[in-house]
Amino acid sequence: MYVASELDPKTAVYSAVVPAGESWLHEFKRGQTFRIVDLEGNQAVDTLFYNAVDRADRYSFQDTIREQGNIYLTTGTRLLSTKRNVLMTIVADTCGRHDTLGGACATESNMVRYAIEKGHMHACRQSFLKAILHSEHRLEKRDIANNINFFMNVPVTADGGLTFEDGISEPGKYVEMRAEMDVLCLISNCPQLNNPCNAYNPTPIQVLIWQDHVP
What are 103-152's pLDDT values in tens digits? 888 666 555 465 565 555 568 888 999 899 878 888 888 899 999 999 99
Q: pLDDT at residue 172 above 50?
A: yes
Closest CA to 203 of 58, 42, 68, 91: 42
> What pLDDT is stored for residue 49 in this prediction?
98
Pick the residue with more confidence: 198 or 78?
78
Percent of all residues in the chain with a pLDDT value above 90, rounded to a whole number: 67
Q: How many domains does the chain have?
A: 1
> Rounded to an integer, what distance in angstroms lies between the CA atom of residue 72 and that of residue 127?
24
Q: Where are the alpha helices (DSSP H) in 100-175?
A: 107-113, 124-133
Question: What are 73-83's pLDDT values in tens digits?
Answer: 999 999 999 99
Q: Is residue 86 part of a domain?
A: yes
CB crowding 171-189: b at 16 or more within 10 Å, else e: eebbbbbbbbbbbbbbbbb
Q: Is residue 4 part of a domain?
A: no
CB crowding 64-89: b at 16 or more within 10 Å, else e: bbeebeebbbbbebbbbbbeebbbbb
Q: Is residue 3 part of a domain?
A: no
Pick the residue with more confidence: 165 or 12?
12
Q: How many CA atoms lie within 13 A of 191 on its CB side?
A: 18
> What pLDDT is stored for residue 159 in this prediction?
80
Q: Rounded mean pLDDT of the chain?
A: 89
Q: Is residue 2 part of a domain?
A: no
Write out the residue range of the structural domain in which residue 20 sits.
Answer: 9-210
Residue 122 contacts residue 177 (beta carbons within 8 Å):
no
Cα angle value 53/59/62 (rounded, 5°): 145
* N- to C-terminal Cα separation, the chain: 29
> Rounded to an integer, what distance in angstroms lies between the CA atom of residue 97 and that of residue 90?
11
> Rounded to an integer, what distance in angstroms lies between the CA atom of residue 98 and that of residue 118?
26
Q: How many residues does the chain have?
A: 215
Rg (CA), the chain: 16
> Rounded to an integer, what distance in angstroms lies between the CA atom of residue 118 and that of residue 112?
9
Instruction: Indicate the residue type of 179.
Output: A
pTM (2 d.p.): 0.92
Pick the residue with more confidence: 45 or 195?
45
